[in-house]
Structure 1
């Protein structure tokens, strides 16, 4: 790690060694008339590499900034119908004006040829046709191949390793961050180019005042009014299989809409397409992915480190609709209405053998298996009013979500079988308001956020005798075992009502690139928790009717705050900092359990980011912040709760409110050059979290059940992360390739404040991506990674876990409109002498009816009919190694018809 840090610092300092120089001036013709759109480039003498470039504006003015170690550089100017000129200039800041001689250009033949990657200002545009292959059909298929852009498995789009903050289509944000539907279903033929808007500030009134370090994506369609979309209908047999996708879309100048219905039982996880993946700017208010407070859970079967389609046993129906329209003649006001409904059933099954390595449990082995049925039934609606103009901003978002979820499990542990179920209805309501009003030369911003959620959950275990839970009355008493009456039912009931509110007001002053924003805020939240456990025990065991198994807890947080925001933006520098002072007041009360805790603390939590852009293609940045977390209601309950059939959890009422202070810092160097199609970034970050409570679990080696408790003791969790990624597109060979390396080291105190009881984890990952469309008869995509994880705990080496994953997709085009596909997923794991290789193969044949743009596909998935996944995992908390065998999807054959709506 020290070598990584040194290497990063050397690289960081080397790019800043030479001072940045700027050449500016004006370019005119022989008569002194300004020449717009002339190109000005700076090159090192004798080298065919552009250091920097610029384009003259309508007044003929240009400005080029560059960095070079040479004493002199070549400045070249080119313009249509003008004679090109080259002048060697000194490597210094200077102002140079040029007059160009007229030179008529005889054009024998005009051939329009779009460049693959073009750049202008903070916008980089990619011509989609330059990166697609014959097998690609949707925008997502091509986006994965564009240099500098990545698409994660959850659909999140990354640019230079960072998540984007907006996803536009023809400049409009229809999906409000839930862009997965469009990315997966927009036909590539409808797209002209993909634009990356670097350092994108989505709030127009703040542009050139409040900088941003995030990029946005704008999909520019070929037509300003487009009716399009994608559909698939597939069926299979043994058992009966279906996969239906219908996603019509309309993109107009005044309105846009997308309707999406997807259903399948073939393992495609379509229900997450509506998740918010891009959250925009904090000035727009607050948006969250509504989720349940999942306190109570059945035992869950494991999931393998495989593509979801290999193991997901599902039956899903997902319906969504998104609509946007302008409601005024100036097209400043927008109304957006979004809704989605999910009905999903998932089956899962596994077998586990856990062997404890050290300590009193050394040699103990627990064998268990779990079979699950998970049921999701939820609906969400959202209404958004937005005005985003240079002279004002307004946004109000109202959303409502309702869940009717239920989970089931049949768990077998050491020969005992338990039937488990959780019912969990949840209602959730949010409203977010933000408005920015110009006031003379100032801006006034008001923000308000309200969130109310009501969670009800009931966990049942039958028979209750399955539990055999280890138990102690207090921290000093010896451990015992609760024995339930044979055939009885154990039931844990739970209800949590949550209200979160946040209100703030600020005023911004701008002068000479600086913007100062003093702000006052008031946050208030309250949680009301009521729980009860009921179970019949055998004689001589604890009584479950007492208050020890009940909670009636109220947890309140009041947080007034005052802060100063500082922003600066120039051509080369971007700076934003926030200096908040928070007055934290927390109170936890439960008269039933004798809980009465308070905390009053003033904290200073600064957040700073600085970015420097130089030599046209380089960016260097530093960031740092301090944050505090004072726990929540999960850290204050004092009545025993059966959160899972694996054991009771409880917090000691005498423990103080948890306090975690996290300090973190990071640095980044980024290079993106569309002229030679080269992109890379280097990142280093470190963090230290100081906590006042540490876990003290009690484990029964016979049953494997755990009683979670905590003790008051200062402890730390530290991490260092280093990663680098380099990507380049080779147009001559139609090849895009990238390599990456990551090293993460974490250290955390285990159960005692002693070096020999420290958990240590070091993970190294090597990645390689490659795609090629050079040959007319073949295209190839490859994505591979090698990982190595070393884990030490309780003073000894727990183990070393090695992994190798890859995905290879080959497509052959032997005859026009005919495609033969081959897909190979490989997942290997090893731990010492234990090694498991898991290969998966798919083959397909597709005929394309080119005239109608319809594809007919026959696909055989999991050709080898591999039914289980085997792997080893390390558990540092209990010094254990777990062998896991997980049920997978069997071999299946599908016939699918694919088509565009237009």
Structure 2
């Protein structure tokens, strides 16, 4: 561990081993008139590599900073209609002025040839045409190929490995972070270029005062007023398949809107397009992806490590609408209204065989289980946002409402060799949820200062009911005796109210901004739960008013409150090279848990200091180095404080000991990062290291009984979870070969204390991953996209109990190959190959999937006709093998069969 840190720091500090130098000056023509937009580059003599560059401003002034080990460097100046200049200068700080001689720039052809990647200040612009292929249709298709940009499977856009904080179209934030719909449905032909806004501060009044290390994406369209969009209509067979996507869009100077309807049963998760992927800035207020508190669950069939389209048996309808308009003449005030609705039904099926190792208390056993699920999602969300984002003030109020009517079903067949049992159980969960949030933030200039007030209020009501029939399926010793049948019902209601209010005042001087703040955070959660058993003899099964017999050990009526007044000081600094922001809060944490019926009364009153700091240094035009560190404390939630048992799943019982204190977790973390992005030679890379130490006062101690069920308990004992990891990624675009390639590597190690069946052991896990991405459009008749990933994991468990000592490893390989051939104009043949291989011990599983497609394009109407054959090999199951500290398991999961689809694809105008 120490060696790794030392090596990393050596690499980091070697970057600064040569002093940084700055050359500045002014460039004029023969008459002394300033020359704007001239390029100034620094190069080492005899080497065709640019160390740093700058562009002159309107006054002809330039300033370029570089680092070199050479005693002299070449300074080159180029400008339109001027003779280029080259001058060798010493490697030192100096001022060098130039007077350029006029020289007509001969234009051999009347042809405008734009650069693929250009940079000006903190903005890097990518010409989309330089990266697309004939098979690409949408913005997302091309974005995946741009160097320095990555698009995750959930739609999240990463720049240099970090998530973006904003997604604009023509400078407007219509989607408020839920940009998946536009990214997946905006035709590439409507886009002029993609801009990356580095170090983007979205709140205009805070620009040059409160820095940001995150980047934003701005999609610049070809026309200032654009009516566009994308549509698909597809049908198929085995069984009947459908896939409909209709997404018209309008982008104007005053208003923008997107309407979206998508439905399919082909395994595509279109409902995830409503997720918030970019959360902006804390000064904008608080936004969340509202979700249910899923405490109660049926037993779930496993899912494979495959693309979702290979196994998802769905029937989804998703509709959404997003609207933005300016409501004042100055175009400072915006009104945004967003709404979406999802109706989704999913089927899932799996078989699992688990061999449990023998322990001192328990003999070895084998549990097999078949699970069949139906999951039903029915939810609606609406949002209304008022925003003023101007240099002289900021205001934002976001009101959102969500309603869920979800339901899950499960049928499970379980056998156990020790219990010599063969059981069948039917399970059902009903889970309606109501959720409301309102977030307000305003920043008002006051003389030379800024006053910021933030307010956030949230209320959520979760009702959940889990039913298991017959009750004997549970096989939980000590409960349901003497009754062996009937219906077991777990009821749970959770009411959560949260209010966060704060005010701060910011003042700036000489690049520094100080922001003292006071605030009060309050959260109250009420948990009511009970488990009851409908008897088979009192009354009849079909009685419309059955008698429920409550089991007192499973009753909870807990109120959990957290009140935290705090005071903090924010410190921010920014100049041409440095960017620093830090916060130094002191929190007075007051936590109380009360359940009078169970004689539970716990509290914690503790003052904590939780600083966080980030510093970034930019040097030699293309380099950035940063460090960050933070300390935070949390004291658990209501799910760590209740003491009555709760059947959260038919195969698991959870509870906290009434005598255990409230959890107290102290987390410390630190990290460092170096990144390089050079748009002049299309090279991007980053190196990262992070370490964290989580100290906890409680440790989980699960107990497994003979039937294979687990009861979760906790022991009061200080313990640590240590994590350290490092990663690197390098990507380069080769314009001569029209090829983009990248390599990545990550290594993460975690070490933690654990218990199993009352015995302590230490678990150490190491995971390594190697990745490679490649795409090529060099040939006019073919394009290739290829990704592969190799992973290795190793787990070591050590204990004074010999049965718990073991060491196991697992390796995996997966790749995706997409090849598109263009034998004749407007005809495309596509081939896709997904391969997922896993190995553990002596078990090896290879899972390959192949798709074939033919597409004809009606060029005049811009309509595509596609015939696609998916899963040609008709692979129906996915197999995998896992080794854990206490068990070995084999899993077989149902997949989608071979299917054929015919689809018509088109653009809206």
- Give the whole-Å Cα distance in 2 for the aligned partners of 1:739 and 1:157: 18
The CA deviation at 1:25 is 1.2
Q: Where in structure 2 are the equivalents of 1:99-138 lying within 5 Å? A: 99-138=99-138
Q: What is the aligned partner in structure 1 of residue 196 from structure 2?
A: 196
Structure 2 residue aligned with 1:853: 862
Q: Which residue of 2 aligns with 1:869?
A: 878
**Which of residues 770, 784, 788 in structure 2 aligns to 1:784?**
788
Task: Say whether 1:800 aligns with 2:798.
Answer: no
Q: Out of 418, 429, 432, which is 1:422 matched to?
A: 429
Q: CA deviation at 1:305?
A: 0.2
For the residue of structure 1 that corresponds to 2:13, the secondary structure is helix
Alpha-carbon contact 1:869-1:886 (below 8 Å) kept? yes
CA distance in 1, matches of 2:147, 2:2: 30
**Hey, what does 1:402 align to over in structure 2?**
403
> Which of 657, 680, 689 is residue 684 of structure 1 equivalent to?
689
Whether the aligned pair in 2 keeps the contact of 1:83 and 1:101 (CA below 8 Å) is yes
Instruction: Give yes or no for contact 1:499–1:525 (8 Å, CA) kept in 2.
Output: yes
Of 537, 552, 557, the residue aligned with 1:552 is: 557
Q: Distance in 1 between matches of 2:531 and 2:408?
A: 19
Shift in Å, 1:49: 1.1
Is the contact between residue 302 and residue 893 of structure 2 (CA under 8 Å) also seen in structure 1? yes
SS of structure 2 residue aligned to 1:373: strand
TM-superposed CA distance for 1:698, in Å, is: 1.3
1:540-619 counterparts in 2 under 5 A?
545-619=550-624
- Verify the 8 A CA contact 2:486 2:536 in the aligned structure 1: no
1:680–1:726 contact (8 Å) kept in structure 2 = yes
Q: SS where residue 884 of structure 1 aligns?
A: strand
Secondary structure of residue in 2 paired with 1:135 = coil
Per-residue Cα deviation, 1:805-845 (whole angstroms, up to 9, x for no partner): 10110111111100001000000011111110000000000
Q: Is the 8 A contact 1:484 1:536 kept in 2?
A: no
Distance 2:727 2:700 in 1: 31
SS at match of 1:59: coil
Residues 746-802 of structure 1: CA deviation (Å, up to 9, x unaligned): 001012899971011000101010111111111111110011110112443341111
**Partner of residue 458, structure 1:** 465
Matched, 1:893 2:897: no
Is residue 703–residue 756 contact of structure 2 (8 Å, CA) maintained in 1? Answer: no
Aligned match of 2:444: 437
Structure 1 gaps of 5+ residues are 472-480
Q: Distance in 2 between matches of 1:284 and 1:340?
A: 22
SS at 2:598's partner residue? coil
Q: Aligned ranges for residues 99-178 of structure 1 at < 5 Å?
A: 99-178=99-178
CA contact under 8 A between 1:664 and 1:685: conserved in structure 2? Answer: yes
Q: Is it true that 1:824 corresponds to 2:822 in the alignment?
A: no
User: How far apart in 2 are the matches of 1:753 and 1:83?
Assistant: 81
**Alignment pair present for 1:693 and 2:691:** no
Kindly state the Cα deviation for residue 283 of structure 1 after the two structures are TM-superposed: 0.7
SS at match of 1:291: coil
When the two structures are superposed, what TM-score results if normalisation uses the length of structure 1? 0.97
Distance 1:768 1:105 in 2: 43
Distance in 1 of aligned mates of 2:515 and 2:107: 56
Aligned to 2:719: 715
Q: Does 1:636 align with 2:636?
A: no
How do residues 689-768 of structure 1 correspond to structure 2 at under 5 angstroms? Answer: 689-700=694-705, 702-751=706-755, 757-768=761-772
- What CA distance in whole angstroms lies between the structure 2 residues aligned with 1:68 and 1:755? 59
CA RMSD in angstroms comes to 1.6
Q: Relative to structure 1, is the Cα distance of residues 4 and 755 closer, same or farther in structure 2, using a 3 angstrom cutoff? A: farther
Provide the rounded CA distance (Å) in 1 between the counterparts of 2:227 and 2:3: 55
Report deviation, 1:96. Answer: 1.6
- For the residues of structure 1 that align with 2:761 and 2:74, how far apart are their CA atoms? 62
CA–CA separation in structure 2 for the residues paired with 1:313 and 1:729: 38
Alignment map for 1:80-95 (pairs within 5 Å): 80-95=80-95
User: What CA distance in whole angstroms lies between the structure 2 residues aligned with 1:315 and 1:538?
Assistant: 37
CA contact (8 A) 2:354 2:367 kept: yes
Decide which moves more: 658-667 or 796-805.
796-805
SS at match of 1:183: helix
Q: Please state whether the residue corresponding to 1:757 is helix, strand or coil.
A: strand
Bigger CA drift: 639-648 or 227-236? 639-648
Deviating 4+ runs (over 4 angstroms): 1-4, 481-484, 536-539, 752-756
Which segment is superposed worse, 360-369 or 481-490?
481-490
Instruction: Return 5+ residue gaps in structure 2 as ranges.
Output: 416-421, 538-547, 800-804
2: distance between equivalents of 1:683 and 1:180?
27
Q: Deviations over 1:644-672 (max 9, x none)?
A: 10132111111000011000000000000
Q: Aligned to 2:181, what secondary structure does the other structure show?
A: helix
Asked whether the 8 Å contact 2:624–2:675 carries over to 1, the reply is: yes
Aligned to 1:504: 502
Aligned partners of 2:720, 2:608: CA distance in 1, in Å? 19
**Alpha-carbon deviations, 1:411-439, whole Å to 9, x = none?**
11112110000000000000000000001
For the 8 Å contact 1:484–1:537, the answer to whether it is kept is no
| Pairing 1:270-309 to 2, within 5 Å after superposition | 270-309=270-309
Instruction: Give the C-alpha shift of residue 106 in structure 1.
Output: 3.9
Equivalents in 2 of 1:301, 1:641: separation in Å? 21
Change (3 A) 1:144 1:806: same
Partner residue in 1 for 2:475:
468
Cα distance in 1, alignment partners of residues 588 and 341 from structure 2: 41
Q: For residue 57 of structure 2, what is the aligned residue in structure 1?
A: 57
Q: Distance in 2 between matches of 1:551 and 1:463?
A: 23
1:865-898 CA-to-partner distances (Å, cap 9, x unmatched) read 000000012334xx11211000000000000000
Query: Which of 502, 522, 526 is matched with 1:524 structurally?
Result: 522
Match of 2:418 in 1: none
Shift of the alpha carbon at 1:3?
Answer: 5.9
Task: Please list the CA deviations of residues 110-150 of structure 1 after superposition, one character each: whole Å capped at 9, or x if unmatched.
Answer: 32101111111001111111111110000000000100000
Report if aligned partners of 2:487, 2:535 keep a CA contact under 8 Å in 1: no
Give SS of 1:750's match: strand
Aligned to 2:323: 323
CA distance in 2, matches of 1:229, 1:752: 55
When the two structures are superposed, what TM-score results if normalisation uses the length of structure 2?
0.96
- Residues 870 and 81 from structure 1, CA distance in 2 versus in 1: closer, same or farther, beyond 3 angstroms? same
Give how far 1:4 is off. Answer: 4.6
Distance 1:753 1:43 in 2: 66
Contact 1:454–1:496 (8 Å) recurs in 2: yes
Distance in 2 separating the partners of 1:418 and 1:798: 35
What is aligned with 1:834?
Answer: 843
- The answer as to whether partners of 2:753 and 2:760 remain within 8 angstroms in 1 is no
State how far apart, in whole Å, the 1-side matches of 2:771 and 2:789 are.
4
Change (3 A) 1:130 1:7: farther
Contact 2:702–2:757 (8 Å) recurs in 1: no
The 2-side partners of 1:450 and 1:798 are apart by 49
CA contact (8 A) 2:865 2:904 kept: yes
Aligned equivalents of 1:524, 1:42: Cα separation in 2: 56
Show CA shifts across 1:459-497 (max 9, x none). Answer: 0001111111135xxxxxxxxx65463440000011010
Counterparts of residues 24-39 of structure 1 (less than 5 Å): 24-39=24-39
Q: For 1:147 and 1:483, how far apart are their aligned partners in 2?
A: 64
Q: Distance in 2 between matches of 1:416 and 1:754?
A: 28
Q: Distance in 2 between matches of 1:575 and 1:817?
A: 53
Q: Deviations over 1:215-249 (max 9, x none)?
A: 00000001110000000000001211000000000
Which of 443, 446, 466 is the aligned partner of 2:453? 446
Larger deviation, residues 385-394 vs 360-369? 360-369
Residues 572 and 530 (structure 1), Cα distance of their counterparts in 2 relative to 1, 3 Å cut: same
Paired residues of 1:485 and 1:536 also in contact (CA < 8 A):
no
